[in-house]
Amino acid sequence: MEIAAYQEMIAPLPCTAIAAILFRRYLLMALTSCLFWNTFGLSAAMDPKPNILLFLADDLGIGDIGCYGNNTIRTPNIDRLAREGVKLTQHIAAAPLCTPSRAAFLTGRYPIRSGKWHQGVNCESFNDHCHHPLSHGFDYFYGMPFTLLNNCQENKPPELDVALQAKLWLYSQIIIVTVLTLAAGKLTGLISIRWKIIACFTLVGSLFFISWYSSYGFVQYWNCILMRNHDVTEQPMRLERTASLMLKEAVSFIKRNRHGPFLLFVSFLHVHTPLFTTAKFLGKSHHGLYGDNVEEMDWMVGKILDSLDKQGLKNHTFTYFASDHGGHLEAQDGSTQLGGWNGIYKGGKGMGGWEGGIRVPGIFRWPGVLPAGTVIDEPTSLMDIYPTVVHLAGGILPQDRVIDGRNLVPLLQGRAQKSEHEFLFHYCGSYLHAVRWHQKDSGAIWKAHYVTPVFHPPGAGACYGKGICPCFGEGVTHHDPPLLFDLSRDPSEAKPLSADTEPLFDTVIRKIGRATEEHRRTLTPVPEQLSVYNIMWKPWLQPCCGTFPFCWCDKEGDSTQSL
């Protein structure tokens, strides 16, 4: 679970986690559609059954790689993808309805996933695995069911210490006050209750308190785990070999499935804190530990691309690279910055609609099909990967729901000059913060901010000291009328427009308002999986390879080899 995202007594999941979860959910939907893989063909101009390779970084800023302007962090392999393919300059990680990587493998016949799942595992018991990848279309899973935390690495300060202490104090006070009230009522005769009931309540309350605390007190052993299918193979993870294990899994998969077609989804642990980096890359970059971690990820990308080349699959593989959201500006260790750089764009991870948190790298390569060295300055979204993958697989999109993504192949090939997106809605948790309107006849990209986070300290560009910006409450500002920007003229969102400075102000606000109302009518409420009850009151749902709560195992041994 992304503990750093749980603010205000576990508020609805912020945008930091939105894009990745929704991206993975769309991929799951694609698995079902891809059952049509061998039934429906593509156009004669394209490989009828291309392999599909998807790379997804975690918290990578758009300004952190060379092909987007960085000249101090070395990313030759990602840059090679851009030179040999298509680079998107308005690729958006925001997604309608926030529901957030690490690696997934899928063949045309045998769906397989490996890497960080980030959607949990269980519903009612520690082994029902209702949220497990194998319950959602995959035939194989290897990786993390949760996410990286500082707790996963030795000698790192545990996350949420302050928040944990506050919650522990609150719950302890509730239990103590309740017990004292019942005891006082019994002694004064105001409450007719047996001492056995009071003792029972005290015992149950204490057990609840202890079990809830243990879910955080033993984070390293409960959350920092690796699974292979339904079995826990490392608990806790040994981060010094995790990158090698993931890379070995990907390279091995490509070799085994070289006759394809296959889909390989590599969703990295990099560059999420705690930024564990192997010794080979430590101290090699000009940007400290964060830069080292980015360069290690780029090396892993290169190794996987080399595997494609070795198997003769480069020209038969549709390759994609992106990040789940922008750099995490609040990630710091004292004065050391541990988060990414979002270039000229304002804000970062978890800040609702600010561009720095949602504009991410987007690179596609398919030699012989997509024109090399192309740059497309049109609004696109991570949501587009689902319909694009379904199209490439020859599948059919579901007709019983609204599909927010669009098939990108015509745009990438140059057969279409404009993005099909007219409106994109930017959420923070379940709260709509901003709306983007692509006015195709003029080329303007309008964005209206209805809600923005309150930066701390005042004048800063992030919510320093809070870990991440809140989505609602006193930590946000509501704007009426909304803040309006024309991103085609002001991509940094430095100068909000008004009726005095923009003649179309009222027209644009009304247009976006009507689109927002129409969008809300298409939404269907669903049970909140990341509720206070599910997150904080059910620690026994955590997978365990030992005797609960003493969970420990190492089934990987020394299986890794240098790659």
Residues acting as catalytic residues = 98, 118
Torsion of the alpha carbons at 77, 82, 85 and 90, rounded to the nearest 10: 140
The two structure tokens encoding residue 535: 């997150």
d(CA 458, CA 74): 34
d(CA 481, CA 451): 11
Beta bridge partners of 56: 267, 322
**What is the enclosing helix (H) or strand (E) of 179?**
helix 161-188
Q: Which amino acid is at 341?
A: W
Cα 373 off chain centre by: 28
Q: What three-state secondary structure class fits 140? A: strand
Contact 521, 374 (CB under 8 A): no
Beta-carbon count within 10 A of 9 CB: 12
d(CA 290, CA 287): 6
DSSP letter (8 states) at residue 11: P
Contact 411, 392 (CB under 8 A): no
End-to-end CA distance of the chain: 30
The two structure tokens encoding residue 272: 């999420």
d(CA 264, CA 244): 17
The strand ranges marked E within 194-331 are 226-228, 231-235, 262-267, 317-323
Contact 444, 454 (CB under 8 A): no
Helix axes 76-84, 288-310, angle to 10 degrees: 50
Q: What three-state secondary structure class fits 348? A: coil
**What is the enclosing helix (H) or strand (E) of 196?**
helix 195-217
What b/e sequence results for 291-315 when a residue is b if at least 16 CB atoms lie within 10 Å of its CB, and e otherwise? bbbbbbbbbbbbebbebbeebebbe
The two structure tokens encoding residue 305: 């691309």
Beta bridge partners of 54: 265, 320
Contact 224, 151 (CB under 8 A): yes
The two structure tokens encoding residue 351: 């800040």
What are the distances in angstroms from CA 48 to CA 87, 107, 213, 316?
24, 15, 54, 10
The Cα diameter of the chain in Å comes to 87
Contact 438, 421 (CB under 8 A): yes
Contact 106, 395 (CB under 8 A): no
The answer to whether the peptide bond before residue 371 is cis (omega within 30 degrees of 0) is: no
